[in-house]
Copies of this chain bind each other. A is one copy, B any other.
Amino acid sequence: MNYAEFQKIITDSKEDVCREVYIENQDRIKIKKEKTAVKNFEKIFDAVFKISYSKGFQAMSMRDLSNEAGLSMGALYGYFTSKEELLKIIQRQGRSMIRRVLIDFTDTVDEPGHRLCAAVSAHIYLSEMARPWFFFTFMEARNLSKEELEAAQVMESYTEDVLVNILEEGEIQGVFKPGNHRLTASLIKAMQQDWYLKRWKYSKRNTSVDDYVTHVLLFVKSFCFNDSMN
């Protein structure tokens, strides 16, 4: 699968995500018209990602956000009750989206070699699709409340566990070499993360996400597969 195919399968639009946010937080949101709320949430989230990308969420003042989103300070507070809550909302919506996508992609293949490639590439494609969120979450992890931080770490562990399970199952089936699968999984995750952490580098070089995935898969396969399978 390449990125274009991935995008066709995942149909989540930005609008859908914002509608979900609206519905989930309806009790605390002062705005009653769904259409208005969804439209403005889109503006707000885009603005948060844009400003936070360059200076971080802490350094972003509500006045910055107000300017970038095109809403007054007063209006902003109709959509959330505090800056901290805004951070929470962004975290939750992102996690829920990711869970949805990852579930769609698990257990579609059985053979460990294919499952490994599918798991590795799906995660990179997902991080490409929601790159602002992935970058934001990595960089702002330190600002999260205890609960939110734990939820983020659970996600991290979960995706690593998926890789470890595939590697172990593959070893049993004789497809993969034995080894420290936990550490291998961590290194794979490090490579996946680099794609969204170093956007500036890869953009400058015109490396496409498909180029990147292809190279990561080559790298991973050469290490994990039994020599007889190469």
Contacts and interface: CB of A to CB of B under 8 A. Distances in A.
A124 B152 CA distance: 26
A72 interface: no
Categorize the interface residue count of chain A.
35 or more
A17 to B, nearest CB: 25
A187 B143 CA distance: 28
Interface stretch (A23-31, A34-42, A114-122, A190-198): A190-198
Interface string A108-146: 000000000000000000000000000000010011000
Interface stretch (A63-71, A83-91, A204-212): A204-212
A84 to B, nearest CB: 13
A222 interface: yes
A165 to B, nearest CB: 17
A9 to B, nearest CB: 26
A155 to B, nearest CB: 13
B142 A55 contact: yes
Contacts of A190: 190-191, 193-194, 198
A215 B186 CA distance: 11
A73 interface: no
A219 interface: yes
A54 B143 CA distance: 8
